Amino acid sequence: MRKARLNITFEGKDISKEISPYLKTMTYTDFASGKADDLQITLEDTAGLWSGDWFPEKGSKVKAEIVCSAWGALGDVSLSCGTFEVDDITSSGPPAIVTLKAISSMTSTAIKNELKERVWEKISLKQLAQGIAAEHGLSLFFVAEEGAPYGKVTQSKESDLSLLQRYCTSRGLNLKLAEEKVILYQGKLFEEKPPVLTLKKGDGKILTWSFNTRSHNIYRACTVQYFDADKKEYVEHTFTPNNGPRTGQTLVVNKRVESIADAQALAKAELRNVNKDEVKATLSLVGNPLVVAGLNVDVEGYGIFDGTYFIEESRHSLGAGYKTDATLRKVLGY
């Protein structure tokens, strides 16, 4: 029989059976970058167990998994939500309920909060990320073009996470912390991966849909202007993608860079950053463990909006059934 259930481990102990009679809703939100994944569990608490003897401690480790049985064409399939730390607990009523909110493990450590001052010379972005990850006992997941090394990297009253985010943004890379990893990847490379499924209008998988396209602040090209210290002159580089917008203004960026290679990387990154939301979609789906942030899906049957979309955010909810809500953007192709 078609069924979706929650497997949950609390501080290393499987409490799936114990929690099942009290579970009202569970929501797992997964982000492609920039935000910490989160988990929210609402429990019935008429007997006062969850606000009494079973009251969880803040900071406790929780691991969650959505397990689907006989799930249509997917068969038996599951979605590992990851490991979280309990961050917020609310008891309310009537009726009496307890809501646990947890954030992705490792998001509240020194990598985010401790401000530092230091300098690196002749170092690549990957080397920088590897060193910072190792300092915090994390591993590095890196999928991106190496790029030219930086002549100098300066950290001034800035956290390690903020520093990495700044340099990732300038190279058009996405950054995320999850599962005791620093995850750093190039959006363009992930947009080129094959779609994990096709969502077709009328096939019963899509419950509601909304598409939006805009022209405001969409640019045809990007020009980076910088001062070449060796030549003692201003230099500029313009990036115009072959498959970009046919009309529009040129975005001009005045920012200090060290070389023409940095200017090229920055021009591509800045253009992608401003244009990536040109076509967006929000879909509410019959629960689907394949719809995960960072992956691609094909959308068909919606006319001009058809195409391949990158999943920016997915929200998986268990309660009166299993539902997935997704925020997507059409891939740029450059």
Residue 169 lies in a domain: yes
| Residue 39: closest CA among 51, 56, 52, 17 | 56
**Section 115-137 average pLDDT:** 93
- Do residue 75 and residue 47 come from a single domain? yes
- Do residue 123 and residue 69 come from a single domain? no
The CA distances from residue 253 to 26, 149, 250, 319, in Å, are: 44, 21, 10, 48
| Tally of structural domains, the chain | 4
| Residue 258: closest CA among 228, 284, 235 | 228
Residue 183 lies in a domain: no
| Residue 305: closest CA among 217, 200, 207 | 200
- Sheet-wide strand order for 139-143: 139-143, 181-186, 173-178
- Do residue 209 and residue 310 come from a single domain? yes
How far is CA 235 from its chain centroid?
35
Query: What per-residue confidence (pLDDT) applies to 156?
Result: 92
Task: Show the 3-state SS of the chain.
Answer: CCEEEEEEEECCEECHHHHHHHEEEEEEEEECCCCCCEEEEEEECCCCCCCCCCCCCCCCEEEEEEEEECCHHHCCEEEEEEEEEEEEEEEECCCCEEEEEEEECCCCCHHHHCEEEEEEEEECHHHHHHHHHHHCCCEEEEECCCCCCEEEEEEEEEEHHHHHHHHHHHCCEEEEEECCEEEEEEHHHHHCCCCCCEEECCCCCEEEEEEEECCCCCEEEEEEEEEECCCCEEEEEEECCCCCCCCCEEEEEECCCCCHHHHHHHHHHHHHHHHCCCEEEEEEEECCCCCCCCCEEEEECCHHHCEEEEEEEEEEEEECEEEEEEEEEECCCC
- Do residue 260 and residue 294 come from a single domain? no
Interacting residues of 275 by C-beta distance below 8 A, sequence separation 6+: 218, 219, 244, 245, 332
Residue 134 lies in a domain: yes
- Do residue 89 and residue 130 come from a single domain? no
- Do residue 150 and residue 270 come from a single domain? no
Listed residues 178, 200, 228: the one ending a domain: 178
Interval 2-18: pLDDT, tens: 899 999 999 999 999 99
Residue 311 lies in a domain: yes
CA dihedral sign, ordered 84, 87, 92, 96: positive
Listed residues 275, 294, 315: the one ending a domain: 275
Q: Are 4 and 66 in contact (CB under 8 A)?
A: yes
Interval 276-315: pLDDT, tens: 999 999 999 999 999 999 999 999 999 999 999 999 999 9
Residue 90 lies in a domain: yes
Residue 41, domain extent:
3-104
Residue 184 lies in a domain: no
- Sort strands 150-159 and 198-200 into parallel, antiparallel or unpaired: unpaired
- Do residue 91 and residue 13 come from a single domain? yes
Whether residue 107 is predicted with pLDDT greater than 60 in this model: the reply is no
**Section 189-208 average pLDDT:** 93
Cα 73 from Cα 89, distance rounded (Å):
38
Between residues 235 and 205, which one has the greater pLDDT? 205
Residue 161 lies in a domain: yes
Q: What is the CATH number of the domain that holds 99?
A: 2.40.30
Locate 88 and state its tokens. 């917020």
Query: What per-residue confidence (pLDDT) applies to 106?
Result: 58
Whether residue 132 is predicted with pLDDT greater than 80 in this model: the reply is yes
CA dihedral sign, ordered 303, 305, 307, 309: negative
- Do residue 156 and residue 42 come from a single domain? no
Residue 91 lies in a domain: yes
Q: What is the mean pLDDT of the chain?
A: 90
- Do residue 316 and residue 204 come from a single domain? yes
- Do residue 263 and residue 169 come from a single domain? no
The CA distances from residue 20 to 6, 43, 104, in Å, are: 8, 9, 22
Cα 119 from Cα 122, distance rounded (Å):
10
Between residues 328 and 231, which one has the greater pLDDT? 328
